[in-house]
Structure 1
Amino acid sequence: MLTYQQALETVLRTLSPLPAEELPLPEALGRALARDVVAGWDMPPADNSAMDGFAFAHASLALRDELQVAGTARAGGGFAQKVSVGAAVKIMTGAPLPEGCDTVVALEDVVEDAGRIRPRKPVKKGDHVRYRGEEFREGEELLKEGTTLRAGEIGLLASAGVARVQVYRQPRVALLTTGDELVDLGVRPGPGQIVNSNLYLISARLREEGCTVWPLAIASDQRGALTERLAQGLEADLLLTTGGVSMGDYDLVQSCLNDLGFQLGFWKVAIKPGKPVLFGTVKGTPVFGLPGNPAAAAATFQLFVRPALRRLAGYRDPLAPHCRAILTARVHGGGSRQCFLWGRIDEEQGRYLFTPASRQSSGQNRGMQQAQALLAVPAHSPDLHRGDEVEVMLLYLPQGNFRGPGAIGVDNRQPSLDE
């Protein structure tokens, strides 16, 4: 049986980014660049003023204390004439520096009287001047392939005149939930039935990752119907199933995939929860079979599917961020498999705190309520204690307040795990 790290490496080694597409810059927010981007011009395009103030030649101050104001340079317009020694021009922020000027003094730092100015304090040559090309030069590389386009990157590219960009496609994911016991939301479950919560849980995570979700109808535990649904889902960029991957009489997902030409990457990983997770490809299309238990499905999504999605979408680093945190409750050491515990992250006095959820059952959704991180407990490791520093995998950014023991959904009981 593979370890978590071995299984993750198998996933990342198997997948490559999806084809690129060209988008208008505003529509590329959140995408990963598929090509390096270079500047089309210098920025700033000319020496200009960083302040509202007065521009002049610094050498003028060595000749006289006061300077004659010869006119105004506006942003977008400038000043057409050369400024002579002993003169100054009132200048607005961003206006090109007039010929003959090399220094700017801020409005609040001068005394202005009858068309003349006098600096209130010493002025250095080059003060408040932004020089041509100091941000970037024409032809300079601005962003590398794989960079995530957030607001700052969008602004940078706009300043360089980049109107359209090549970005990797976001995956279209077919989501198939299996099981005769499942009913749709809005239907009251009968004896032996449960609501298909996995559809909504995994759909929400897919949308959080920027994917297009293609929900397929619930597949019954019948070979014909299941194979038909699986074949339909293989038209997507990635097929994701929940349920039917263990060893029961009606766990038919892998068998039906085999009928479609499934190439096995792995089945079963030495983790808890989520041991029976399945991964492979059918004619190049990646397929994940997640366990049917909600917490196990969510954990294996975070551990394997999210990195796969980010690899397909071309992001430079497909792995989730980690941080150090202080444990707020005792945790039993690892058993024969590496354990992953849901928990909440809070900030207190400049440090992060990790509080394990008291409910860690793989069959419950309750343990994932308010969960922001997963704590990996290695196999055969000793117990962890309150106050120990641990490393956790972040799902969401930490909250800014620490509510302490006794918060809703959290207590100090020893977390327990099942399959």
Structure 2
Amino acid sequence: MSLLPVDEALKAILGRVPAVTPEQVSLGEANGRVLAAPVIAGHNQPPFDASAMDGYAIRAEDVVEGARLRVIGTSQAGAGYGGGVHRGEAVRILTGAPVPPGVDTVIMQEEAVRDDDFVHFTAPARLGHSVRAKGNDFSIGQNLIAAGTRLTPMQIAVAAAANQARLTVAQRPSIALLATGDELVLPGTPLGPDQIVASNSFGLSAMLTPYARQVADHGIVSDDVEQLRERLEGILMAGPDVLITTGGASVGEHDLVQDILTGLGVSLDFWRINMRPGKPLMFGTHGRTLVFGLPGNPVSAMVTAMVFIKPALRAWVGHGEPEPWRLPLAGPTPSNSARRHFMRAQLVPGADGMQALPISQTDSGHTSSLAAADLLVVQPENDPGQPIGTVVEALPIDAF
């Protein structure tokens, strides 16, 4: 069986992702969620001409040398001055307060000298200064935040200012994780002979939680046919949106996952990808559940999740696929094989901006080098290797 090109595998996966399903959440629940409908302004902000500072609201033409204006009232936030302002008059005004009718300028209090009911100024008036015009921030009908945007605190603040108590966001999938292997033990367990500490589910859970309404870790199951079938059957019966297994995806004597999954009704789309690390990647469906079988080697598991599962989850919540970064190399790359290489690299400063420094370690079990990486440099198939300064494509590891 030939190896499936990376781009074809990704296209097949994205073709199985369902359309976005919208739901409404409160502002307090919206951080990190992806909008399924835009936020449209229903009012002007500010809803009136407002003062940008404490001072005096005046008519600029009245402020001439030697002029003294009579202070006729006060305008403050939540309690504006209700009357009009005429020639030779001023209103004491506080930040955020409505600018009274008839005035066009605010002079800050540091440039004002108060004398009982009169005020004069130590600086000339600048027409329109310190007046926030009605609708200056946003106006009725303005698209404030586009659908497909992942909400940040700043955008939630804008939505609140637009008087939106609830926002329409994309429903997130439920994800189930299962690690397989006789050799695996949980972190914190004293290691016995021939045992290794399981790390895949912990790394995957941390990576995928921002996209999910729930990530359920179903632990570790041994390489026993009956135990593995029972555990997988139970998970599939619960109907998660996404099932991710790690280990048992290759063709070794104890790599049982593929046969058991197909026996349980999983329709397999493919199971070998033309990439490194991560060639033995399975993908299929069980009803509405997307099923991923990732390699057991921890670097392979994390890289394949980043290359294939994260784009699927972005599509699930309606978030556009980000463009790859284009960065110059801070070090040379070696020649590549016929498989696309996702090379670990660090983001380092250069004379003309940031650069990608390749990490020479390529072992698929070498977790410390992946932890030190900021990027995956995408090295094309059969690439002869590139010198320092060559601009290459790179995927930021921690991007949404």
Alpha-carbon deviations, 1:315-340, whole Å to 9, x = none? Answer: 2x144x53333323221122111111
What is the RMSD computed on CA atoms of the aligned residues?
Answer: 2.3
In the other structure, the counterpart of 2:318 is: 314
* Secondary structure of the structure 2 residue equivalent to 1:360: coil
In the other structure, the counterpart of 1:390 is: 392
Q: Percent identity?
A: 38
Alpha-carbon deviations, 1:41-61, whole Å to 9, x = none? Answer: 221111111222211223434
Contact 1:266-1:279 within 8 A present in 2 as well:
yes
Give 2:235's aligned amino acid: G
CA distance in 2, matches of 1:103, 1:68: 16
Give 1:376's aligned amino acid: V
Contact 1:375-1:391 within 8 A present in 2 as well:
yes
Farther off after superposition, 68-77 or 286-295: 68-77
Residue 251 of structure 1, CA deviation: 1.6
* Secondary structure of the structure 2 residue equivalent to 1:216: strand
In the alignment, which of 250, 268, 281 is matched to residue 264 of structure 1? 268
* CA pair 111-23 structure 1, distance change in 2 beyond 3 A: same
Alpha-carbon deviations, 1:362-391, whole Å to 9, x = none? Answer: 022122122111001101112122333323
Give 1:51's aligned amino acid: M
Farther off after superposition, 10-19 or 233-242: 10-19
Is residue 364 from structure 1 mapped to residue 352 from structure 2 by the alignment? no
CA distance in 1, matches of 2:63, 2:328: 60
Is residue 286 from structure 1 mapped to residue 290 from structure 2 by the alignment? yes
In the other structure, the counterpart of 2:46 is: 44
CA distance in 2, matches of 1:119, 1:7: 72
* CA pair 257-56 structure 1, distance change in 2 beyond 3 A: same
In the other structure, the counterpart of 2:168 is: 166
In the other structure, the counterpart of 1:228 is: 230
In the alignment, which of 274, 278, 281 is matched to residue 278 of structure 2? 274
Residue 169 of structure 1, CA deviation: 2.5
* Secondary structure of the structure 2 residue equivalent to 1:218: strand
1:313-332 to structure 2, matched below 5 A, reads 313-315=317-319, 317-319=320-322, 322-332=324-334
Is residue 304 from structure 1 mapped to residue 328 from structure 2 by the alignment? no
**Unmatched runs of 5 consecutive residues or more in structure 1:** 398-419
CA distance in 1, matches of 2:231, 2:190: 25
In the other structure, the counterpart of 2:194 is: 192
Contact 1:176-1:233 within 8 A present in 2 as well:
no
Residue 188 of structure 1, CA deviation: 3.0
CA distance in 2, matches of 1:210, 1:239: 12
Give 1:84's aligned amino acid: H
In the other structure, the counterpart of 1:414 is: none
**Unmatched runs of 5 consecutive residues or more in structure 2:** none
In the alignment, which of 329, 332, 335 is matched to residue 333 of structure 1? 335
TM-score, normalisation: structure 2:
0.91
Give 1:264's aligned amino acid: L
CA distance in 1, matches of 2:206, 2:33: 18
Matched residue count:
395
Contact 2:344-2:359 within 8 A present in 1 as well:
yes
Is residue 239 from structure 1 mapped to residue 243 from structure 2 by the alignment? yes
* Secondary structure of the structure 1 residue equivalent to 2:261: helix
1:196-211 to structure 2, matched below 5 A, reads 196-207=198-209, 209=211
Alpha-carbon deviations, 1:6-35, whole Å to 9, x = none? Answer: 222222222135533322111110001122
Alpha-carbon deviations, 1:96-133, whole Å to 9, x = none? Answer: 01122122222234454554444444434322221222
Give 1:30's aligned amino acid: G
CA distance in 1, matches of 2:162, 2:229: 51
In the alignment, which of 97, 100, 113 is matched to residue 99 of structure 2? 97
Contact 2:71-2:91 within 8 A present in 1 as well:
yes
Give 1:396's aligned amino acid: D
CA distance in 2, matches of 1:228, 1:384: 49
Give 2:280's aligned amino acid: P
Alpha-carbon deviations, 1:54-75, whole Å to 9, x = none? Answer: 1122343479844222222111
Farther off after superposition, 11-20 or 287-296: 11-20
CA distance in 2, matches of 1:3, 1:197: 28
Residue 353 of structure 1, CA deviation: 2.5
* Secondary structure of the structure 2 residue equivalent to 1:217: strand
Give 1:387's aligned amino acid: G
Give 1:174's aligned amino acid: A
Contact 2:32-2:210 within 8 A present in 1 as well:
no
In the other structure, the counterpart of 1:374 is: 376
* CA pair 332-349 structure 1, distance change in 2 beyond 3 A: closer
* CA pair 17-109 structure 1, distance change in 2 beyond 3 A: farther
CA distance in 2, matches of 1:342, 1:290: 19
Residue 167 of structure 1, CA deviation: 1.6
* Secondary structure of the structure 2 residue equivalent to 1:54: strand
Give 1:44's aligned amino acid: P
* Secondary structure of the structure 1 residue equivalent to 2:15: helix
* Secondary structure of the structure 1 residue equivalent to 2:168: strand
Give 1:283's aligned amino acid: G
CA distance in 2, matches of 1:301, 1:159: 38
CA distance in 2, matches of 1:252, 1:34: 40
* CA pair 322-97 structure 1, distance change in 2 beyond 3 A: same
CA distance in 1, matches of 2:235, 2:147: 30
Alpha-carbon deviations, 1:209-260, whole Å to 9, x = none? Answer: 5652201132222333222222333321210111111111222222222122
Residue 299 of structure 1, CA deviation: 0.6
Residue 396 of structure 1, CA deviation: 3.1
Give 1:254's aligned amino acid: Q
Give 1:157's aligned amino acid: A
In the other structure, the counterpart of 1:407 is: none
